[in-house]
Structure 1
Amino acid sequence: MRARCCRTGPRLRGILLVLFGAVTLAAAAADPDHSAIAPGVDRNHALLHGPEGAAAAGRVLADFYRRQDGEAGFAWWMGLPIAVRSRHAVVPEVRRWRYRVEFLRDAQRGDAAACRFSGAVVLRDPELGCDRAEQVRRYLDCRPADPSDVPSDLPGLPTDALIAQLDRDTENCPLLATRIVEVRARLAAATGAKPSGQ
């Protein structure tokens, strides 16, 4: 009986390898650039302790953000065990993408109050770089159902520092300079700040 088991073992392993290969080929055909496979690996690794798990979580959140899927991205984050989230949330890169995904979700939902709150958190990130103008635009587009509820200022937001950063971004991000100037003008109009150059 034992000998028969051992003889069938290699055959079973061969069948499983063929099935695995077929599934892998089907996945590759459906997703030729492997954009859906790598995040799946990272989603498993995100459950790990330590830097590897945090790095994987950051990559998954960044991937959701690049796909502009705030709803699914934030749902994935909230679906992690609370102990995992607590560990990863203190890592700057994870925090950065977690809040950008939440801000994106709030904006896509049209939830003005949540959008203003999460947006203010994102806009305080000193590492926004050339993405700053896009985040400011999203923040300014947050609108409540009743237009009369739109505040004339942006409470809680360091607008002077933000405008100064946008001025620097026009030099640091020359390919986006026109867009940055437009967003800077919108922000100045919303806060009563002086136009650029005055």
Structure 2
Amino acid sequence: MSKIYFFNGWGMDENLLKPVKNSTEYDIEVINFPYNIDKSSIDKDDIFIGYSFGVYYLNKFLSENKDLKYKKAIGINGLPETIGKFGINEKMFDITLNTLNEENLEKFLINMDIDDSFCKSDKSFDKIKNELQFFKDNYKIIDNHIDFYYIGKNDRIIPANRLEKYCQNYNLAYKLLECGHYPFSYFTNFKDILDI
């Protein structure tokens, strides 16, 4: 059976997808930080989906494995140029990292526009902070390898207008959604994500 490889966002785990049904013919494999994946298991009919920072890591994986055969790669509320003019302002990123504590993490989740469907990660605060530090320490801009982007119009984490400009600048296919950074009130089934 073919798979959807879901590259998760910063600090997230499988809990993020609890409210999302899967009525597709695909099995879902969630890839969390540090985003290790056995590329020998990837089939030409498999689909990649990246969410938030997971879009960056998915794009990085695809750029390092250009020989892979797969069906398509979809990005949701994220991009290869996560920090900078098309993504998160570098100063804001640094402030978030340098002031991150448990209270500020809760505020961050609220700014994602989560609702009652959101299922919090079981990761410890220290692991979540270390993920963000690792991202900052290892970040570099990579050419795009994503085929299609979904952009939450009300995204306050990775500003929608910047992500839309990125897609327009590089002539990439995208669709605007009526949601914030958290898209799983809008997407309640994987089949909706695949309906491009």
Q: Report the TM-score, using the length of structure 1 for normalisation.
A: 0.26
Higher normalized contact order (CA 8 Å, seq sep 6+, divided by chain length): 2
Q: Report the TM-score, using the length of structure 2 for normalisation.
A: 0.26
